């Protein structure tokens, strides 16, 4: 129903479907934020109509708004056939849940997703977003009887420190894919939120660098043999991206200077 509304002639000039081989209803709004948010009582105005549609659909859970850039990790995994229908996926820092929703749509009713977040309040918000989306209902109805639906094995939640996420005792329980969308300075979101620039300082990225390394390292320890880890941030800073990956590669090769190694997995 929402797809039909977005593809109506009224919105065709400002709402475009994203081209990909696995496009499952991904659209991009080409109208700028200022135009979309302009105050008007003219119900025939396209900006007014589109904003009303976006707001009501977001509140009901029919639509999840997300930057195209933040969708790339899951889209890349899906396009590369690394995110299979029966995959076990661990989302290390899952809130606010947009990537979690993407993954659920990709793994289907035979996969399993563990959505983890260290912050209890953010985890509650994540659960609410998943519930409102309705994405679990069709997955459960395909997999379980009504009596079994309360034992949902498609999605589970955890409220744990990602740097100390517990080991999986059996190889078969290890995730095929680990998403590590780590805490970051957020300087890549300046276009949509100029206030980020006003509060930005080099210290923020440097302060998060060690945490990012620890989360990525733990992700690599947890993923099963032959699996894949997706590391991402919403920052453009190399300290939070390339430097983190380099540090972990050096650590894996035994070339780092960190003697405080709590490895319990190969």
- What is the tens place of the pLDDT at every residue in 10-66? 788 888 887 665 556 788 888 887 888 777 766 568 888 888 888 888 777 677 788
119 in Cβ contact with 95 (< 8 Å): yes
Question: What is the Cα–Cα distance from 18 to 141, expressed in whole angstroms?
Answer: 29
Mean pLDDT, the chain, as a whole number? 84
165 in Cβ contact with 222 (< 8 Å): yes
Residue 96, preceding bond cis, omega within 30 degrees?
yes
Length of the chain: 266
Query: Given this model, what pLDDT does residue 232 score?
Result: 96
Highest mean pLDDT among 70-79, 150-159, 205-214: 205-214
Task: Indicate the pTM of the whole model.
Answer: 0.82
pLDDT band at 1 (very low <50, low <70, confident <90, very high): low
Q: Where are the beta strands (DSSP E) in 24-82?
A: 27-29
Give the residue, 135 or 116, on which the prediction is more confident: 116
Residue whose pair of structure tokens reads 């700028």 in the numeric block: 32
SS3 237: coil
Residues that are catalytic = 234
Question: What is the Cα–Cα distance from 89 to 115, expressed in whole angstroms?
Answer: 9
Instruction: Reply yes or no on whether the pLDDT at 153 is more than 80.
Output: no
């Amino acid at each position: 129903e929402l797809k039909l509304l977005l593809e109506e002639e009224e919105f065709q000039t400002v709402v475009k479907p994203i081209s990909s081989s696995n496009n499952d209803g991904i659209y991009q709004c080409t109208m700028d934020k200022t135009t979309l948010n302009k105050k008007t009582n003219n119900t025939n105005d396209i900006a007014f109509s589109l904003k009303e549609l976006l707001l009501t659909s977001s509140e009901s859970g029919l639509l999840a708004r997300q930057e195209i850039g933040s969708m790339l990790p899951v889209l890349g995994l899906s396009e590369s056939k690394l995110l299979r229908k029966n995959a076990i996926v661990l989302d290390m820092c899952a809130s606010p849940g947009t990537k979690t929703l993407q993954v659920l749509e990709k793994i289907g009713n035979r996969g399993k997703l563990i959505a983890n977040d260290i912050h209890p309040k953010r985890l509650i918000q994540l659960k609410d977003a998943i519930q409102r989306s309705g994405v679990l209902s069709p997955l459960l109805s395909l997999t379980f009887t009504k009596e079994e639906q309360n034992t949902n094995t498609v999605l589970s939640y955890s409220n744990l420190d990602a740097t100390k996420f517990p080991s999986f005792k059996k190889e078969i329980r290890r995730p095929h894919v680990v998403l590590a969308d780590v805490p970051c300075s957020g300087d890549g979101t300046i276009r949509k939120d100029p206030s980020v620039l006003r509060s930005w300082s080099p210290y923020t990225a440097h302060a998060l660098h060690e945490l990012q390394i620890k989360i990525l390292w733990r992700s690599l320890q947890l993923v099963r043999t032959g699996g894949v880890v997706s590391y991402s941030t919403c920052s453009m800073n190399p300290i939070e991206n390339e430097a983190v990956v380099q540090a972990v590669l050096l650590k894996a090769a035994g070339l780092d200077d960190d003697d405080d190694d709590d490895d319990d997995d190969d």
